[in-house]
Amino acid sequence: MLLSVRNPLARRLEAAHFSSAFHRLLLYSTTTAPASPFAAEDYLVTTCGLTPAHARRASKYLPHVKSPDNPDAVRAFLAGIGLSKSDLATAIAKFPRILCSRVDQTLAPRVAKLRAVGLSPPEISRLVTVRPNIFTNPGMIPRLAFFLSFFGSFDQVHTALRRNEYLLSKNLELVVKPNLAFLQQCGLTSSDIAVACTRMVGWNPERVKETVERAEELGVPRNTGMFRYALTVVRCLTPNRINAKLDLLKTALGCSEAELAIAVCKLPDILRSSDNKLVRSVDFLKREIGLETQYIVHRPALLNYSVDRRVMPRLYVIKVLKAKGLLKKDIDFYTIVALSSKRFAEKYLVNYKDSVPELMDDYAAACKGKLIPNVQL
């Protein structure tokens, strides 16, 4: 009887206790602010140094990251191998998912493998800025080892990767090695390939052969120093565009096809200049200076120099010095224009600063596009 009386009472006391505890929990939950969720975009800007635009794009690859713990560990590890804050920002902007890598399971083992193929910590840091996904793609490391062997130095490999970031993704046996062997047969050195032909290394081998044939059609023989420039021209311009450039130059210069071939063979890169630049250069050289077509054809680099910022300022200096009787002998025009900026300044400005003190300032102003006085000889 006593037990039956106590049970309802006990149940009422327990219910009252639960109600009071629940009330306290509810009160706590409404008065205490919840932990802020991880905001990837803000983290990328404030902690990683990305611009808001880069952070907005990069954050799309990090939807499952819920806290800064792993990204902080990744940043600390990469800083430990020598990445500066700006380099780290570059790497994250290129490959945001690097922040999801596990330091112990992924990053540290990959660094060990990169050290094993001969890279120093500073070189690994430079590599990460151009190919940060090498940490998540172990197949790239054997390809990197091959390119280190082929190019002979990390600097050459770094140059090649900056020009073709997908180079480490190409099949070595079916694509890379056949193309490298063929380009070497054409007389290109490893340095030529790293600087000018890196993109071609990853092409279908048949396409590479077609490109070489088009370069030869410009009249530039294989095994010559200009052949890599011819390859760049045909890689960047369509056949129709090249033919249009040749017709324009032939008309502007008033030369034969044979004469035009001399210019193109000496400097294929003139075909990459804009139409307006070529026409303006030819007109100035022929009308204002009085150069003959033959002279220009054999010195096609004249067509690549800026009329306003190089040719005219230097011509002005020579005219002033001649007008003052400081230059007695005639000087070959191409020699004047082709001199490096430093050498030209030493020879024609510094040497005459006492005789013509204003000449240096006039020349500097002219190189910036400002008007210069007309000088009559």
- Residue 79: predicted pLDDT: 93
- Residue 141: predicted pLDDT: 95
**Burial (0-12, 13-18, 19+ Cβ within 10 Å), 221:** middle
Q: How do residues 106-156 score in pLDDT, each as one tens digit? A: 999 999 999 999 999 999 999 999 999 999 898 999 999 999 999 999 999
Calpha distance 52→41 (Å, rounded):
8
Q: Report the C-alpha dihedral over residues 25, 30, 35, 41, rounded to 10 degrees.
A: 150
Calpha distance 154→190 (Å, rounded):
12
Mean pLDDT, rounded, for 192-209: 93
Per-residue DSSP letters for 180-235? HHHHHHTT--HHHHHHH-HHHHTS-HHHHHHHHHHHHHTT--TTSTTHHHHHHHHH
- Residue 374: predicted pLDDT: 59
Mean pLDDT, rounded, for 197-202: 92
Q: Report the C-alpha dihedral over residues 139, 157, 182, 228, rounded to 10 degrees.
A: 150
Q: Across the chain, what does the average pLDDT equal? A: 87
Could you give the percent of the chain with pLDDT greater than 90? 79
- Contact of 356 with 321, CB cutoff 8 Å: yes
Given 3-state DSSP classes, what are the helix, strand and coil percentages for the chain, each rounded to the nearest 5?
Answer: 70, 0, 30
The helix-helix angle for 121-130 and 85-94 (nearest 10°) equals 40
Q: Write the single-letter amino acid at 266.
A: K
Nearest by Cα to 49 from 84, 80, 73, 9: 84
- Residue 169: predicted pLDDT: 93
Q: Write the single-letter amino acid at 337.
A: V
20-23 contacts at long range (C-beta below 8 A, 24 or more positions apart)? none
- Residue 138: predicted pLDDT: 86
* Contact residues for 19 (Cβ-Cβ < 8 A; gap 6+): none
Distances (CA, A) of 358 to 96, 112, 149: 55, 61, 55
Q: How do residues 215-256 score in pLDDT, each as one tens digit? A: 999 999 998 889 999 999 999 999 999 999 999 999 999 999
The pLDDT confidence band at residue 331, using thresholds 50, 70 and 90, is confident
Calpha distance 57→308 (Å, rounded):
41
Could you give the percent of the chain with pLDDT greater than 70? 88
Phi/psi for 356 (5° steps) reads -135, 75
* Contact residues for 351 (Cβ-Cβ < 8 A; gap 6+): none
- Residue 36: predicted pLDDT: 58
Distances (CA, A) of 224 to 34, 125, 185, 263, 297: 71, 36, 12, 15, 19
Calpha distance 353→374 (Å, rounded):
20
